[in-house]
A and B are shown apart, each in its own frame.
Chain A
Amino acid sequence: MDNVATAEHTDFEENTIAHTSDMGHSTATVSRDVRKTVGDIEAENPRMICRGVNVHYGDKHAIKDVSVDLGKNEVLAMIGPSGCGKSTFLRCLNRMNDTIDDCHVTGSISIDEQDIYDKSMDVVPLRAQVGMVFQKPNPFPKSIYDNIAYGPRIHGLVEDKEELDHLVEGSLRKAGLWAEVSDRLAQPGTGLSGGQQQRLCIARTIAVSPEVILMDEPCSALDPIATAKVEELIDELRENYTIAIVTHSMQQAARVSQRTAYFHLGDLIEVGSTEQIFNMPRHQLTEDYITGRFG
């Protein structure tokens, strides 16, 4: 199945390229080599630097030579059609792909000038440093309090109960959930509504004070009101954290991000400021995607 789909896409890709060159598009710097990323991959103030990242799932080449920076206090949105590898790439950033047996990552991803795929790198502190929020809200089947307290406890971030209470409260406040749950911290986190659960998951991530937060379609399971709250929260979090968010909603990317990266079939096609990507895409594929011609 997969192979067929890939073959189709490849045809499509070639057609598109042929098509664009025939048209002689003048505004876009169309390159015959789709693997070359268009735009500025470098951030002004980089927090994480990825260079030449390739991911293979067994024989499948899922991410092809992707280079991009994650800037400090900046939200990087990753968009692209399904199966383009944006989630895969995101999961490389805190090595969540390690859990997949035949996943193989090459290239360099570094945080604080330390390559995270280096042998000396321990994934446990890395994941505390680079937190993650998942597509489906996944609170632990424990109390709200324990959900937040779990991370700090296992990392030994707090000395006593009082400090932990403070940390839990602080995290919930930052996630904008404190007012809603302060009187029922002992109740199970799974009893909250979907939007509250997702904010609980964000609070849980914040509780271990990461520097980078990765979000994998955090709003795809939420209704518009809950989505708005989470988006607002993301905007607030930007002040203190570096954020990378994968999203299917281009409106969302436009609303929350400062920079946007467009992925297509494992290639990073174009990176640039969100404004530029949505108003003046330089690559034909990007334009086709954001104008809704496919995807």
Chain B
Amino acid sequence: MNDTTQKRNTMEIVKANLAKRYAREQRFRAYGIAAISLGMMFLLMLFISIIGNGYGAFMQTYVKLDIEFTADRIDPEGTRTEDALSAGNYGGLVKDSLKRMFPNVKKRTPKKQLYGLASSGAAYQLRKMVMDNPDLIGTTQSIWVTADDDVDMLVKGHIDRTLPEADRRMNDSQISWIERLEKEGRIEKRFNITFFTAGDSREPELAGIWGAAVGSIYTLLVTLALSFPIGVATAVYLEEFAPCNKWTDIIEVNINNLAAVPSIVFGLLGLAVFINFFGLPRSAPVVGGLVLTLMTLPTIIIASRAALKSVPPSIREAALGVGASKMQTITHHVLPLAMPGMLTGTIIGMAQALGETAPLLMIGMVAFIVDIPGGAFDPSTVLPVQIYLWADSPERAFVEKTSAAIMVLLGFLIMMNAIAVILRKRFERRW
């Protein structure tokens, strides 16, 4: 009797508490969902802001000009040699064309403004055409040339035409010319190939991301080639061979500390050691790669050690038990099983290196470089530094270039992380 009442009491107490327990669980879930929502919101804001700002950079305004390829301008002596052709006054052709279209513009300043409608890159475009096909000389062609960045901005609506004349970058006559060109169908927005094929430029309409992308690729190749083997070798030694003593403890603490050292310090180290002491070239991907190797190593070592630790001891015992030497046990069994973890760590380290800016500023990769680097010893810049440079530029057109460059960088990062996931899934083995 007494027993049953007590039992009922217990049940009642449990039931009374039950609601509270479930409520607690619900609350905990709600916190989690709130946290994730907040994170997603910020991410969404980032994407909206970047894509909203940057999508315009993938289109570029072009102007159709009727270019008369006069021999006077291109090759007055008529030799038709390559040197002569490349020395021709192609800018003059552009000016002639614009002059013909707007014969009323007479004064010096308006003339200059008129000629500024076409990008200075138009002259290079014409030169290339003539060099490829000298038969063009003497003919008249309708050619789409890149418009100046101010024209581009106006066409894309980033310059408010309703503002008072003094407050905008383009005056009324410039706008009227553009409006006339638009009416004649001589202005068009096209996919901006230049952005993906050119190096940096002072002219926003000629600036491209390719130089920085190539610089990033060379830098990352150097980083990967150095940090993966060094990191894996270190991890294998520390995990499999090193005795447990004071020295290995000190090394371990140092590796963990190294992971937390501000990256600018690595940049200073690179400047002092690789450039000043070893005399490696400034602004070169090879130095960038070396510096980023120092930065990436702790990540790779820590990830690789964790991967090695997670290989079950039974596999080692099995290999040792059939008479494999320690080296064979490691290379035949432990490393293949640890490889997915090591690769994941490496790719995460690489992604980190790809986004690293500060140390590269110290070693001169912040220089203004127009040429596409041809190798790891050529001066170059990298994607994040390019973003930094463009963000710092005063021209309105660089705002959208900056966002577009960020999109390209994010694209690379997403790609690398996707590879990490695929590798992990692909090589993951169960035992």
Contacts and interface: CB of A to CB of B under 8 A. Distances in A.
A141 B244 CA distance: 29
Given A101-B244, A150-B332, A190-B430, A139 B325 contact: no
A172 interface: no
B315 A140 contact: yes
Given A101-B243, A140-B333, A190-B430, A124 B317 contact: no
A99 B333 CA distance: 16
B317 A138 contact: yes
Interface in B295-336: 312, 314-325, 328, 332-333
Contact of A204 (B315, B322, B430): B322
Contact of B321 (A101, A131, A154): A131
Given A138-B314, A141-B429, A127 B328 contact: no
Interface string A123-138: 0111110011110101
B317 A96 contact: yes
A208 interface: yes
Q: How many B residues are at the interface, by size bracket?
A: 20 to 34
B322 A96 contact: no
B430 A134 contact: no
Contacts of A136: 314
Binding site secondary structure of chain B:
helix
B369 to A, nearest CB: 49
A207 B323 CA distance: 11
A134 B322 contact: no
Binding site secondary structure of chain A:
helix
A274 interface: no
Given A124-B323, A151-B323, A201 B328 contact: no
A205 interface: yes
A128 B319 CA distance: 11
A204 B314 CA distance: 14
B337 interface: yes
A127 B337 contact: no
B322 A150 contact: yes
A94 interface: yes
Interface in B388-431: 429-431
Given A101-B243, A138-B314, A140-B333, A154 B328 contact: yes
Nearest to B431: A141
B322 A127 contact: yes
A124 B325 contact: yes
A147 to B, nearest CB: 9
Contacts of B244: 101
A32 interface: no
A155 interface: yes
Interface string A146-182: 0000110011000000000000000000000000000
A127 B321 contact: yes
Contacts of B431: 138-139, 141, 190
Nearest to B313: A99
A140 B319 contact: yes
Contacts of B320: 96, 99, 127
A141 B323 contact: no
Contact of B322 (A99, A128, A141): A128
Contacts of B325: 124
Contact of A138 (B315, B337, B429): B315
A251 to B, nearest CB: 26
Interface string B183-226: 00000000000000000000000000000000000000000000
A94 B430 contact: no
Nearest to B326: A99
A125 B430 CA distance: 30
Contact of A205 (B316, B321, B324, B337): B321
A140 B318 contact: yes
B322 A151 contact: yes
A243 to B, nearest CB: 15
B116 to A, nearest CB: 68
Contacts of A128: 322-323
A201 B315 CA distance: 11
Contact of B324 (A131, A154, A190, A207): A154
Residue of A96, A101, A127 most packed against chain B (CB within 10 A): A127
Contact of B323 (A99, A127, A201): A127
Contacts of A207: 322
Given A101-B243, A141-B431, A190-B430, A125 B315 contact: no
A134 B318 contact: yes
Given A101-B243, A150-B332, A131 B322 contact: yes
A131 B314 CA distance: 15
Contacts of B328: 154
Contacts of A138: 312, 314-315, 317-318, 431
B319 A96 contact: no
Nearest to B430: A190
Contacts of A154: 322-324, 328, 332
A141 B430 contact: yes
28 contacts: A94-B321, A96-B317, A124-B325, A126-B323, A131-B322, A133-B321, A134-B317, A134-B321, A136-B314, A138-B317, A138-B431, A139-B318, A140-B315, A140-B318, A141-B315, A141-B337, A150-B322, A151-B323, A151-B324, A154-B322, A154-B328, A154-B332, A190-B430, A190-B431, A201-B318, A204-B318, A205-B322, A208-B323
Given A131-B321, A141-B430, A208-B322, 4 more contacts: A131-B322, A140-B315, A141-B429, A204-B318
Nearest first, the 5 A-B pairs at minimum CB distance are A128-B323, A138-B314, A151-B322, A127-B323, A132-B321
Interface of B: 243-244, 312, 314-325, 328, 332-333, 337, 429-431
